[in-house]
Amino acid sequence: MFGSSPLVRECLNLVSEREGGIGHGIGHSRKVAIDAGAISLVEYAPFRQRSEVRRIVLLAHVAGVLHDVRRLEKDHAQASAGEAGMLLTRFDLADREVLAITSAIRNHEAFRAAEILEDPLSQFLSDALYDADKFRWGPDNFTEMLWDMVEYRKASLDALLTRFLKGMEGIKRIRETFRTHTGRIYGPDFIDRGIEIGMKFYTDILQSKS
């Protein structure tokens, strides 16, 4: 579904044009989009018509692709939501759908109280996007995301190690914050595996420098 959607392809092209300014890389956005769609498929499919399910998955894909389009700004969730709202005016989406996507993007940032949304579609999409994004705080953190950010900032290994343990504490805090039923099943395991990989990396690097 992700690969066959013209709308998703257009959104990917828009993000690719800005890739040098988002700090994560397009790979992160693709994974978040696909997992947000998967959560939507798992949780909506038993209760909705096929056409409605496909539409919700599409909205989740779009939200995932665009969620970090302004990643490097201080309040990146709010800035990305605003940018997404402007970009989506060119597409054939209902006002409610655009609102659901932008609300989800605005609500995906870690360590902030989640905004309770009145519209059930917006609330579900918000929860699915948050969980899909936080799945990336597991093993992906140490195979892709961390290195994308280090490369973008031209950070030294010593600078990385100085901040490493504080960053690991932040990852641990994510473990109990998953919002969907699917997220609560799988999310803590993602985080635990990421912490195990991260601490092994940290220990090995310290030993290599001694």
- Tell me: the pLDDT tens digits for 161-209? 999 999 999 999 999 999 999 999 999 999 999 999 999 999 998 988 8
Q: Whose CA is closest to 8, among 76, 80, 70, 58? A: 58
CA distances from 196 to 51, 165, 168, 201 (A): 41, 13, 10, 9
Please report whether residue 115 resides in a domain: yes
Distance CA 131, CA 119 (A): 19
Confidence of residue 154 (pLDDT cuts 50, 70, 90): confident
- The pLDDT confidence band at residue 44, using thresholds 50, 70 and 90, is confident
Residue with tokens 């998703």: 8
Q: For residue 20, what pLDDT is reported?
A: 58
- The whole-chain average pLDDT of the chain stands at 91
Query: How many domains, in total, are found in the chain?
Result: 1
Asked whether residue 1 is assigned to any structural domain, the reply reads no
Percent of the chain whose predicted confidence (pLDDT) is above 70: 97
pTM for the structure as a whole: 0.93
154, 100 Cβ separation under 8 angstroms = no
* Pick from 80, 71, 143, 135: nearest CA to 107: 80
The residue range of the domain holding 84 is 6-209
For position 70, what pLDDT does the model report? 85
Using one digit for the tens of pLDDT, what is the confidence trace for 105-153? Answer: 999 999 988 889 999 999 999 999 999 999 999 999 988 888 887 887 8
**Beta carbons of 137 and 171 less than 8 angstroms apart:** yes
Instruction: For residue 57, give the CATH number of its domain.
Output: 1.10.3210.10
Looking at residue 152, what is its pLDDT? 77
Of the candidates 115, 103, 96, the one whose C-alpha atom is nearest the C-alpha of residue 63 is: 103
